[in-house]
Copies of this chain bind each other. A is one copy, B any other.
C-alpha cells in the first residue's frame, strides 16, 4: 500500500492537465488543484496499514454482510477511492458476463490481470464513460465527426489507437488510471466504437481540461468546506492514444458494448446514494445548529421544516438499507445492492434536495450571504464592532455563528453548493434515466395482478372476456 506521500510522488508523472486556459505545470501546488491532491493523499493515509497488501476498495463483496460492511467503510473513503472500487467492480462483473464464451477469453484474462495490477500497486482509477455525443439524435457512426464517440482509429498488432473525449469525469486529474467504456449499446457496423480499455492518466495523447468548485479566494474560514476537500471535474481528450493489447478489454465485439455500462450500473449508485444520505444528515445538522444559534429552534414552523428534512434523510437511508437487505447475487456469487431500491432512493434524494436546501435557507436567514468573514472579525479597526453585532443569544459568539453561516453558504449557496445541485441531479444520468431504471426493475406484472384482484375481476377474466364475479 502507498502512503499519502508516495501517492503524491506517483502523480508527478508528466500528466497533461489544463485549467483556466493554461497548462498546469506543477499540479501539486496549483492553487485550484492542490487541495484535491492533498485530499486524495489523505485518503491513502487514512487507509494505510503497514503490512496490509491492499486497501479495501479492491475487494468484491460476497455476502450481504460484506456489502453492509463496505457501505459503512465507505463513509471513510474519499471519492477517488470510491470510484476506484466502482470502476474495478464494473470491470470484474463485465469479465464474468463475458466468460461464457471462449471468444472473449483474452478480455477476461486481461481484466483479471488488470484488477490484480491496480490492487498490487494501490492505484486509483476513474471510470471514463460519457462521450461528447455531438448531435444527440444521431448514433455514433452517423455523426459528422466520428470522434464524437470514442473510437478505434487504428488497429495495430500490438494494440489500438483511440480518439475521442470523455466528459464529467470527477477526480480524473488526481487518478492513475482511466477505465474507458462505451457509453451505450453499439450496433453492427459500429465495431470501432465498441472499445473498452484502460489508459494511464499520463499516457501520450491524453489531456484533461479541468473545472472546479475549489474557492478562488484564499480565506479557508470563508470557505470552510470547499477549501479543504474538492475534486476537479475532468474533460478528458484522447488524441491518438495508443492502448497496448493487454489493456484492451473490448475491441469490436458490439454484442458486449453495453455490458460494461450495465455492470457499472450495478455498483455505481451505492456510493452515490450513501454519500447523499450523509449530505442529507449534514443539512439536518446545519439546520438545527443554525436554528439554535439564532435562538429559533423552538418556533413551530422551524421545527416543522427540520422534521421534513429528517424524514427526507430517513427515507433515503431506509431505502438504501432495503437495497442491501435485498441485495442480489450475480451468477458469479458477487453481491450487489438491489437496483430498484437503489434507484428509488437516488431519485428521491436528488429530486427533493433543492427543497431541503430551501428549508435550510428559510431557517438560517439572510446572514448566510451577508455574514462578515473571519478576517473581518480579526480586523483591528472594525472587528470588535462586527463581533458585537454578529453574535446570537447569550452564549453564542460571533465567530461561531459566522462560521456556521459560511459553512452553510459554502455547502449550499456558493460554487460548491451549485456543484451539489447539478451533480445530484446529473449523476446516474438525470432524473428521467432513474425513473426508467426504476420502472424496469419494478414487478409491474405483480402490481397489475394485485389491482385486478382488488377490483374483484374473476380469475378467468381477460381483456376480451369477463363475466361479473360478484353480482348475484
Contact = CB atoms under 8 A, between A and B. Distances in A.
A345 B312 CA distance: 10
B341 A282 contact: no
- Per DSSP, chain A at the interface is helix
What are the 6 A-B residue pairs with the smallest beta carbon separation, nearest first? A21-B375, A285-B451, A413-B418, A318-B319, A407-B455, A216-B216
A224 B453 CA distance: 10
Interface in A400-445: 400-401, 403-404, 406-407, 409-415, 417-419, 421-423, 425-427, 430-432, 435-436, 438-439, 442, 444
Contact of A471 (B288, B374, B436): B374
Contacts of A465: 397
Interface string A433-472: 0011011001010111111101111000111111010111
Copies of this chain present:
4
B357 A355 contact: no
Interface in A227-284: 227-228, 233-235, 237, 239, 278, 281-282, 284
Best-surrounded residue of A20, A21, A130, A397 (most CB of chain B within 10 A): A21
A367 B211 CA distance: 10
Contacts of A196: none
Contacts of A286: 451, 455
20 contacts: A20-B376, A138-B393, A207-B382, A211-B370, A213-B369, A220-B471, A225-B454, A228-B456, A281-B451, A303-B439, A307-B438, A315-B345, A361-B425, A395-B463, A397-B464, A397-B465, A400-B463, A407-B454, A413-B421, A417-B417
A322 interface: yes
